[in-house]
Every structure is written in C-alpha cells, then in structure tokens.
Amino acid sequence: MAPLEEDGPAAPDGTPAPLATPATEERSFTDARGIRIVYDVHPAQTTTRAIVQLLHGVGEHAGRYPALVAALTAAGYTVYADDHRGHGRTGMGQYGDAAKLGRLGPGGHPAAVEAIWLHTQMIRAENPDLPLVMLGHSWGSFLAQKLVNQHPDAYDGLILSGSALLWPGALNGGDLNKPWRAKDATGLEWLSSDPAVWADFAADPLTNDTPMLKLFGLLDSARQFGKPRKNLGRDIPSLLMVGGEDTVGGPRSVHMLADAYRTRSGFTDVTTLVYPRDRHEIFNEKDQVEVRADLLAWLDTRFPARD
C-alpha cells in the first residue's frame, strides 16, 4: 500500500503544508477463468483499525462510492473495492463495449462469487493481523451473504446496505420504480430521493439500469436465493442498513434477514438501522452524512483504534 506522502513545500510563513492523503492504488488479479478483475486499494489516513472489503451493486461499479470511501479511510479503515465480473473497468476489459456491461461472463454467478472469494483471500494474506469487514450494497450484499455462508471464518464483521432476505416473497423481482411511475419519470427514482443521483447514474458510462433477470438470465438470477446458513459456528457482528422506501427488500425483508441471522446462524450482535425517508442507495441519499456517521459509530465500537 502507498505510504503517507511527506510534507509538501513550506508556506511563506514557514508552516509546513499538511500531509497529503494516501494515494489510491489501482491493481488487478486474474480469476480462475482468466478474467482480469480490477480493484482499488484506498489506504487508511491514520493507523489502520480494520480492512473493509466493499462490494458494489448490479449495473454499477466501485467508483460510485467516493464519499463513503473518504469517510472510512479518514476514520482509519483501509478499503479494497473491486469492479465485479462484467462491471465497470473489469467489464470493459472483458467486452470493450459498455453496452455489454452487467453480463457476468464465463461461469456466470458462481464464478463471480469465486472471484470475490479469491480477492478476500488476497486481502487476508496482505493484512494477516487486521480484522476484515465485508460491506456489500444491493447485489453486493447478496454476494456478501453467499460468502459468509460459505466462508464464515474469513470475516470479522458484516455490513449489508439495501439488502433483503433472499427468499421468494421477501425479494422484489419486479418493477423497482413502480411507486414513482409517471409520464416524466426517469426510471431511476427508486435509487434515491435526490434527483442529482438519477442524473449522475444516467450520465455515467459504466452504469446501466437493465434488470438483473435480463442481465444474468433466469438461472443466475435464481441463484440469488438462499437463506443464512444454520449454525455457522462463528458469531459475526452484523449491521443491516436500509431505506424505509427501498423497493428491493425494504425494512420488512431486512428485519426478516436480521431475525434469520439470529435464529439460524446464531449471531448475537445484529443491528438494524432504518432510514424512513430514504430509498435504495442510502449512501447517496440526502441524509448520507448521518448514514455514514452511523456506520462509523458502529464500526468504531467494534474495531477500536490501534496504537
């Protein structure tokens, strides 16, 4: 990881310039099926408390989380964030065509999960003495649920945003923008109550709003389903954050997920936070400063600062 840069040139009064923030480093690795996965390492700006592995949602990429990453690194968390198979820079490397972004490629959804697991193993090897927290948003939270089921010993904390219990009746596979359907609707109102977020998403060449079923196909879409595993044998502190107007799962589904982690997996530290006026992307909402503060308060309580 890149170290903190040295003091810059002194000001005219002799005061040293402040330390620059650590430089983000773009890296890559090749997964088991030959796909080059691109990711960023954002080093902590202070002594590292823990590592956060950030998983983005479907149709987007890791570059849509700058404010969240800045808040985490300022508070002492190093962030690893990849563009998943078929998405962002990884997807452009696969296809060279933004129109094809979102398609997962050889091996489909299982291969996408395997690639993230490989990244987890790399992160663990690079940071053997630091706790590792998985933070997944939307589809990224679905991936996180799969990985915790398969490899519970790898993670010291779990944060799910815009998630759901992955079970029929608890996960919305229909029109996510239905509550805001109107003649002048953009189709992106479900993302956030802030119109600027709709505009930014639409203008981003690495995003698309194609439904998961169309991108992944019937089989890989069905592979999303699955409840938290019974008797995981590891008590992982978990934070579930959701907007009150989120149409992917919403508070009802997230409360069901929290209950499943308690009763099925045996987790004793499960916190659910609901933001009543927020929609799906709580980190891009009008109250995002409050959302980030709540996230950091939860993290700081469980991962104390290190000398």
pLDDT attached to residue 305: 92
Domain ranges of the chain: 25-302
CA distance 182 to 184: 5
pLDDT attached to residue 42: 98
Residue whose token pair is 């954050």 = 241
The terminus-to-terminus CA distance of the chain in angstroms comes to 19
CA distance 79 to 52: 5
**pLDDT reading at 13 higher than 80:** no
Q: What angle do CA 29, 136, 145 make, to 5 degrees?
A: 95
The overall average pLDDT reported for the chain is 93
Across the range 54-74, mean pLDDT stands at 98
**pLDDT reading at 16 higher than 90:** no
Indicate the residue type of 162. G
CA distance 160 to 115: 19
Fold classified for 25-302: Rossmann fold (3.40.50)
**pLDDT reading at 8 higher than 60:** no
Contact 52/133 with Cβ under 8 angstroms? yes
Write down the H helix ranges in the chain.
66-74, 88-95, 108-126, 139-150, 195-203, 212-222, 250-260, 288-302
Paired sense of beta strands 50-55 and 77-82, if any: parallel
126-135 pLDDT tens trace: 999 999 999 9
Indicate the residue type of 286. K
204-246 pLDDT tens trace: 999 999 999 999 999 999 999 999 999 999 999 999 999 999 9
- Burial bucket for residue 221 (CB in 10 Å: 0-12, 13-18, 19+): middle
CA proximity to 210, closest of 66, 37, 91, 35: 91
138-157 pLDDT tens trace: 999 999 999 999 999 999 99
Which residues neighbour 196 within 8 Å (Cβ) at sequence distance 6 or greater?
none
154-197 pLDDT tens trace: 999 999 999 999 999 999 989 999 999 999 999 999 999 999 99
**In angstroms, what CA-CA distances link 36 with 3, 59, 138, 151?**
26, 18, 23, 23
Instruction: Provide the token pair at 216.
Output: 């992944």
Contact 194/180 with Cβ under 8 angstroms? no
CA proximity to 38, closest of 46, 28, 25, 30: 28
CA distance 246 to 305: 33
pLDDT attached to residue 21: 62
pLDDT attached to residue 4: 31
CA atoms within a 13 Å half-sphere pointing along the CA-CB vector of 271: 15
Contact 179/247 with Cβ under 8 angstroms? yes
- What confidence category does residue 18 fall into, taking pLDDT thresholds of 50, 70 and 90? very low
pTM attached to this predicted model: 0.92
Mapping DSSP to helix (H, G, I), strand (E, B) and coil, where does residue 248 land?
A: coil
Of 9-13, 92-96, 158-162, 227-231, the one with minimum mean pLDDT is 9-13
- What confidence category does residue 22 fall into, taking pLDDT thresholds of 50, 70 and 90? confident
pLDDT attached to residue 9: 40
- What confidence category does residue 20 fall into, taking pLDDT thresholds of 50, 70 and 90? low
